Amino acid sequence: MSGSSVSGTEEIRAVQYLRAAAAILVVFIHTGVYAEQIYWPTPRAGRRMAALLLCALGVVAIAFAERGLAAEPKRAPPRLVHEEDFSRAGGLDQNFWSYEISFIRNREAQYYRPENVFVANGALALEGRAEGVLNARYDGASKDWTRSTLTSEYTSGSIFSRFSMRYGAVEVIARAPKGAGTWPAIWMLGGDDGPPYREIDIVEAVGKHPNIVFTSAHAGPTLDELTNWSAETNVPTLSSQWHVYRLDWSAETVAVSIDGRQVLAVAPRGPDDPLRMPMRIRINLALGGSWGGQIDRSALPARFEFRSIRVYSNEM
Residues 63 and 83 in one domain: no
Does residue 180 share a domain with residue 124? yes
pLDDT confidence of residue 90: 83
Are residue 47 and residue 171 in the same domain, yes or no?
A: no
**238 and 90, same structural domain?**
yes
Q: Are 19 and 54 part of one and the same domain?
A: yes
Same domain assignment for residues 140 and 38: no
The percent helix, strand, coil of the chain (3-state, each to 5) is 20, 40, 40
pLDDT at 111 over 70: yes
Do 54 and 100 belong to one domain? no
In this prediction the pTM is 0.77
For residues 141 and 36, state if they share a domain: no
Containing structural domain, residue 171:
79-313
Same domain, 157 and 190: yes
- Does 247 fall in a domain? yes
Asked if residue 73 is part of any domain, the answer here is no
Strands of the chain (E only): list them. Answer: 79-85, 97-99, 110-112, 117-120, 123-134, 151-156, 158-161, 168-175, 182-189, 197-204, 212-220, 227-234, 243-249, 254-258, 261-266, 280-287, 302-313
Predicted pLDDT at 25: 39
Write down the pLDDT at residue 257.
99
Instruction: Name residues whose C-beta falls within 8 Å of residue 235's C-beta, 6 or more positions apart in sequence.
Output: 211, 212, 213, 243, 258
The domain that contains 129 carries what CATH number? 2.60.120.200
What's the total number of domains in the chain?
A: 2
Does residue 147 sit in the same domain as residue 41?
no
Q: What is the mean pLDDT of the chain?
A: 84
What was the pLDDT predicted at 37?
Answer: 38
pLDDT in tens, 95-109: 999 999 999 999 999
Q: Given 67, 89, 114, which residue is the final one in a domain? A: 67
pLDDT digits (tens, 9 = 90+) for 24-83: 433 333 444 333 333 344 545 445 554 544 444 444 444 444 444 345 566 678 899 999
- 72 assigned to some structural domain: no
Percentage of the chain surpassing pLDDT 90? 70
Mark which of 67, 91, 114 sits at the end of a domain: 67
Strands 123-134 and 158-161: unpaired
Q: Are residues 44 and 167 in the same domain?
A: no
Half-sphere exposure of 51 (CA within 13 A, CB side): 6
Q: Which long-range contacts (CB under 8 A, 24 or more apart) does 29-35 make?
A: none
Domain identity same for 195 and 48? no
Neighbours of 275 (CB within 10 A): 25
Q: Of 67, 93, 113, which residue is a domain's last?
A: 67
**Residues 139, 135: Cα–Cα separation, whole Å:** 9
Q: Is residue 50 part of a domain?
A: yes
For residue 144, being part of any structural domain is answered with yes
Residue 1 lies in a domain: no
Domain-embedded: residue 237? yes
Give the pLDDT of residue 216. Answer: 98
Residue 43 lies in a domain: yes
